[in-house]
Structure 1
């Protein structure tokens, strides 16, 4: 079932989300100072490509600098990226077929809002 959901997700929106996150990551890598956010954006991009069967977990060793980086991210970009996932999830949740995809969008909100200090792991 996960594979079927991932394939449908990939065709309908996952590929475009992946491209958007990767474009953001490349821009952040070029700007050098923003490389930590670029790494996080690339990680989220891969997650958005195939989200079913994965989950986001906190990295316990991320410290003070991840907190500062997340604060900067929320102020500059994180709030509108998270809001876009929420806005996308609302019409998906209205349709029965779109409910799993709405849930996938909602699962991306925390990592889009605070990307540093998080890992994406397989559920099983």
Structure 2
């Protein structure tokens, strides 16, 4: 079932959301200071490409730098990536078939707003990162 949902997700919105994360990552990697943010964007872009069967968990070793970085991320890229998830999620929820995909889009909003200090792991191993 996860594979079927991922294929439908890829066709309807995953490819475009992944491209938006890749664009944000490339823009952020232009400067040396933005490289950690660009890497976070690439990591979330892969997650946005194939989200079913994966989950986001907090990293225990994340500290104050992640908090400061998340504030900068929110200002630089997070708000418009989250807006893309909101728009796509609402559009998918218009149809009955798209409701699970729309809900998955809404679940991506928190990680798109604050990605630092998070790790993406398979759903069968959610505590492996801790």
Band the TM-score falls in, shorter-chain normalisation: over 0.9
Q: Normalization by structure 2: what TM-score?
A: 0.88
The farther-off stretch of 12-21 and 74-83 is 74-83
Q: Larger % of helix: which?
A: 1
Alignment size in residue pairs = 124
For normalisation by structure 1, the TM-score amounts to 0.92
| Greater shift in the superposed pair: 80-89 or 55-64 | 80-89
Per-residue deviation, residues 77-113 of structure 1 (Å, max 9, x unmatched): 3123212212221231231100111011011101100
- Correspondence 1:68 to 2:68: yes
SS in 2 for 1:55: strand
Deviation at 1:115, TM superposition (A): 0.9
Residues of 2 paired with 1:9 and 1:39: CA distance?
23
Cα deviation, residue 12, structure 1: 1.8
Runs of 4+ in structure 1 over 3 Å off: none
Aligned to 1:82: 82
Q: Evaluate the alpha carbon distance shift between residue 27 and residue 80 of structure 1 in structure 2; reply closer, same or farther with a 3 A threshold.
A: closer
- The farther-off stretch of 86-95 and 40-49 is 86-95
5+ residue gaps in structure 1?
A: none
User: For the Cα contact (< 8 Å) 2:25–2:42, is it kept in 1?
Assistant: yes
Distance 1:100 1:116 in 2: 26
2:89·2:106 contact (CA, 8 Å) conserved in 1?
yes
Q: Which runs of 5+ in 2 are unaligned?
A: 125-130
- Tell me what 2:3 maps to: 3
* Partners of 1:4 and 1:40 in 2: CA distance: 27
Q: What is the root-mean-square deviation in Å for CA atoms of aligned residues?
A: 1.3
Cα distance in 1, alignment partners of residues 80 and 17 from structure 2: 14
